[in-house]
Amino acid sequence: SSGINAEYGVPRWGAHVIGMTQVPEAQLARELDLPLVAMGMVTDYDAWRESEKPVTVAEVTKTLKDNGDKMIGFLKELIPRLAEVKNWRETSNHAEKFL
């Protein structure tokens, strides 16, 4: 969790989760003309959703492992598709069709 809690206005923002940004990576990728996809995985709501019970390290670790397993499955499907891409610029403009 990010350590941000309700007092910082998360509910006012209309957000459902809080995460670390990909801004530095996105800026560097743009500068180098590299394609970039960011994917976030939620581990818990403990940092700001006061109505939820506090999470344990074991719960976060299990969720993180489960998320990792899901990501491995996703990447096993995605990587062969990426290898087929000839024109990244055109493909990235139509990413919803690609995935």
Active site residue 46: yes
Active site residue 44: yes
DSSP state of 63: H
Cα angle for residues 24, 70, 96 (degrees, 5° grid)? 60
d(CA 48, CA 8): 9
Alpha-carbon distances, residue 77 vs 16, 65, 71, 73, 99 (angstroms)? 28, 19, 10, 7, 10
Q: Which of 88, 91, 93 is nearest to 34 (CA)?
A: 88
Instruction: Name the residues annotated as catalytic.
Output: 44, 46
